[in-house]
Amino acid sequence: MRGLKIVGLTAFLALAGMVHAGGEESPRRRAKPPQWSQEVRDVFFDDARKELVGNRPVLRAAKTQAEVVESEGSLQNVDSSWSDLIDAETLQSEVKQTINNVAGAIATSGKFNGEGHQQCQRDFSLLAVLFGVIEEFDEQVRWQRNAGVVRRHLKQAAAMCEEASEESYSAAKQEYGLLTDLLRGQPTIDDSLQEKGQVERSQLMLRMEQSVEEVLGSALSSKKNFRRRSTEVIHESQLLAVLAKLIVEEGYESADDEEFSGFARQLGEASTALVQAAKEENYEAARSAVGRLTQSCSTCHEDFRG
């Protein structure tokens, strides 16, 4: 070990608190510095900084998962499994809440004929795609065995509710009955319906706008509000990530447009980053994710809505 010089003697003394760096001498009494033998001096460099070569290492704090997603885009929304985007609990909760919304829309024929039929169209459209996700979900989730049949019924009901009429009101009530039976575990479903095209993407966009404008905006208005509503933020962000993946599926207008797909991918990645930020209660990361999320929505609307 005698020939190995590991640090400068000056640095060693500084660490020991024996070297006074500039300024007036302190009036406090200090111990005399030790007298090092030549044998000890030979172990150290006089100034280690002159002997070291190469760049100094840069120490960085470990990134949170949300920051990894933001900086590296590591979670590619359109290539993710459903369980990477939304958990079974959130999926089931959104289905139940949406079914409850339908109940209010069909409470009376007058309400249905007013704005209720439009709400039913939105809710049945959303439920149709959610049951499509349930059908393909890669983890255990409720209603999976009947999901395909229910999805076909919901598509038909959504299309019928575009206009208010006695026929569409009857169809909406019938569909609501089917859904409540499903929730009770007693579904009676006609499986003879044929598969039709996609639900209208505009109906899914309405739910996305609700998440951004009515929920996330207010939930992130302050750090205190964000922490109090973190569970709600996670729910809405997971739903946004799912819808961002769905709106570029085959059969939707502009689904093969690279620019539109890019906006959807940005939305999905920002939504996933927001989920992680909410789980970590990282307010700054959440605000950054929401900023990217809203920017992707705004730019997309400008380009594709005129």
Sign, CA dihedral 257-263-265-271, equals negative
Report the predicted TM-score, pTM, of the whole model to 2 decimal places.
0.73
The fraction of the chain above a pLDDT of 90, given in percent, is 58
pLDDT band with cut points at 50, 70 and 90 for residue 188: confident
Whether residue 41 has pLDDT greater than 60 = no
pLDDT at 99 over 70: yes
Q: Which of 3-7, 124-128, 191-195 shows the lowest per-residue confidence on average (mean pLDDT)?
A: 3-7
pLDDT at residue 180, as a whole number = 93
Highest mean pLDDT among 57-66, 77-86, 221-230: 221-230
Per DSSP (E only), the strands in the chain are none
What are the structural domain ranges in the chain?
1-20+33-53, 66-82+200-304, 86-183
Separation between Cα atoms, residue 229 and residue 218, nearest integer Å: 10
Report the candidate in 282, 246, 293 with the shortest Cα–Cα distance to residue 85.
246
CB 258 within 8 A of CB 232: no
Highest mean pLDDT pick, 7-11, 28-32, 75-79, 87-91: 87-91
Mean predicted lDDT score pLDDT of the chain: 81
Structure tokens, 154: 């919901």
What average pLDDT does this structure show over 15-22?
A: 44
pLDDT value for 92: 97
Instruction: Check pLDDT > 60 for residue 34.
Output: no
Q: Which H helix or E strand runs over 101?
A: helix 88-105
pLDDT band at 49 (very low <50, low <70, confident <90, very high): low
- Please name which of 135, 78, 81 lies closest in space to residue 250, comparing C-alpha atoms: 78
Q: Beta strands of 123-199 (E only): which ranges?
A: none
Query: Which one of 2.40.50, 1.10.260, 1.10.3470, 1.20.120 gives the CATH number of domain 66-82+200-304?
Result: 1.20.120
Is pLDDT above 60 for 306? no
The predicted structure's pLDDT at residue 8: 45
- The pLDDT score that the predictor gives to residue 27 is 52
pLDDT at 145 over 50: yes
Q: What is the pLDDT of residues 261-303, one digit of tens each?
A: 898 999 999 999 999 999 999 999 999 999 999 888 888 767 6
Among 52-56, 73-77, 282-286, the least confident range: 73-77
Q: Which residues are CB-contacts of 128 (< 8 A; sequence separation ≥ 6)?
A: 151, 154, 155, 158, 199
